[in-house]
Structure 1
């Protein structure tokens, strides 16, 4: 499941928990498309602490088919914070950050979730 919540006029939180379905990815892509259409810059907080397993192949295929839109959205983000205690997710997030010039990216443990939120909101 992916819950998307506006946490400031220019920031959203993505709470990713349990298993992710193709419908979850479709809703996330629709959100990204809508954000690209606004042309506004923003910030994102991804909380992956309760993620269970990997998405099904149909969800991954849908994400790959829409990678252009997702990358346009990512490059409209100024700050991205990822919260996770999983070593592989933290490592993947750090690799991704190296591939995104111009985007400020930070990775936090679950016990530093408040710091991650403050950083995304420009308060930390």
Structure 2
């Protein structure tokens, strides 16, 4: 399940939990494509809460949509991952090491506000 979080227009902010479905992945990719169409740089805030798995039937369509993003990695700005599961924090740190030119930080749940402020400073300044 996913839920989009109110954020600046150049920030894709969401929380995911439970089982991630193909429709979740499709909605997230649609929101990302839309943000990239409007902005040169897009920042991401992803909060995970007890991920139970991913629906395998949704992966082929997601992979087809995600692969072109490898050619657009320079369009990603700050990426904040907030995770309650250690394995997700570890996987995120590994991904960060593979993509060193993206400003990437991993946070624990009690650092959520700090993570959101780091990835979306305009929201913090406006008092939101």
Match of 1:8 in 2: 8
5+ long unaligned stretches in structure 2: none
CA contact (8 A) 1:33 1:73 kept: no
- Report the alpha carbon displacement of residue 83 of structure 1 after superposing the two structures with TM: 0.3
Count of aligned pairs: 122
1:47-77 per-residue CA deviation (whole Å, 9 max, x = no partner) reads 00x2431111112222222222343565422
**5 Å matches for 1:1-124?**
1-48=1-48, 50-72=49-71, 74-122=73-121
5+ long unaligned stretches in structure 1: none
| 3-state SS in 2 of match to 1:101 | coil
TM-score by length of 1: 0.84
CA distance in 1 between partners of 2:58 and 2:102 (Å): 25
TM-score by length of 2: 0.81
RMSD: 2.0
